[in-house]
């Protein structure tokens, strides 16, 4: 299979300047910073990366920039999801020719595709490369729930080896893991990371880990040691950060503001139609920066 795919991954933000152009140099500096923080890997071009506001050519260049600076040190999962099979396959084939460790995709969204359509979609993607494939369960935004029965059908394809679980139905997560212990599952809700790890997740993929990687790495270590009392305290601390980072739905711009200040780089802005930060969001970001300075 190549690299061990378990661990803690930062879902990378894509930095844009005020005109919407990608700041590739800033992206690479941030990746280097996270490697120094001990992160296990990167989830590239996901929803956190504003992938659906980018062209396919931009998504390819972002992936290539991350691969270049990473230099095979950490694990890379390339998210290729788009609304249609052909659009996604173009990105899958691009990733297949590069040194990425796994490929992932959200379900086809907006239209109400049937379960059979969904299964075919994922089989088409998984069969287009020899990389391990990771399904992405994120019903809040995709409108599609990857149920235990759907996941069982998907696992008939040996290339489908993982699941990113961004959902609050932890009974379903437990059922999937219990019936299929070899399936690699990542917790996807940062504020509930302890819940996923307690239910058997092999790691976590999150946007706030761009700023609080040491905390989530500590959380996983405590969960692996079955010290859930101490782990709960770490999750409580993480959630204090997360509450501020996601204030008023300005998560992307707040996070980029924090990255810029903490790392001393220009990490830019979110792409339109996301709006700029107001005074309340700037105050929240500054509070996070102060908290991090004393961590």
Residues marked as catalytic:
136, 164
Helix, strand, coil percentages, rounded to 5, for the chain? 50, 15, 35
Torsion of CA 206, 174, 224, 236, to 10 degrees: 50
> For residues 168 and 189, is the Cβ–Cβ distance under 8 A?
yes
* DSSP secondary structure of 53-87: GS-HHHHHHHHHHHHHHHTTSSEEEEE---SSHHH
CA separation for the pair 7, 185 (Å, rounded): 10
Tokens matching residue 93? 């084939």
Tokens matching residue 194? 């302890």
Question: Kind and range of the H or E element at 186?
Answer: strand 184-187
């Amino acid at each position: 299979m190549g690299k061990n795919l378990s661990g803690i991954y930062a879902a990378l933000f894509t930095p844009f300047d005020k005109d919407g152009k990608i700041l590739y140099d800033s992206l690479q500096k941030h990746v280097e910073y996270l490697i120094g923080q001990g992160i296990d890997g990167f989830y590239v071009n996901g929803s956190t990366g504003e992938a659906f506001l980018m062209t396919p050519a931009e998504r390819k260049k972002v992936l290539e920039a991350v691969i270049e600076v990473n230099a095979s040190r950490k694990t890379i999962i390339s998210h290729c999801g788009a609304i249609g099979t052909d659009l996604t396959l173009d990105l899958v084939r691009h990733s297949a020719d590069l040194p990425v460790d796994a490929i992932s995709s959200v379900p086809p969204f907006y239209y109400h595709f049937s379960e059979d359509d969904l299964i075919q979609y994922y089989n088409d993607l998984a069969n287009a490369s020899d990389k391990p494939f990771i399904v992405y369960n994120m019903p809040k935004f995709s409108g599609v729930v990857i149920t235990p029965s759907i996941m069982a059908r998907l696992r008939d394809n040996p290339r489908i080896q993982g699941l990113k679980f961004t959902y609050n139905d932890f009974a379903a997560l437990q059922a999937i893991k219990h019936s299929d212990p070899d399936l690699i599952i990542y917790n996807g809700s940062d504020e509930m990371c302890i819940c996923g790890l307690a239910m058997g997740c092999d790691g976590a993929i999150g946007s706030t880990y761009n700023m609080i990687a040491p905390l989530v790495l500590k959380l996983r270590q405590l969960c692996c040691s079955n010290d859930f009392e101490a782990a709960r305290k770490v999750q409580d601390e993480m959630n204090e950060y997360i509450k501020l980072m996601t204030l008023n739905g300005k998560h992307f711009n707040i996070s980029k503001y924090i990255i810029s200040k903490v790392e001393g780089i220009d990490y830019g802005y979110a792409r339109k139609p996301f709006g700029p930060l107001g005074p309340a969001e700037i105050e929240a970001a500054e509070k996070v920066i102060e908290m991090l300075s004393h961590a």
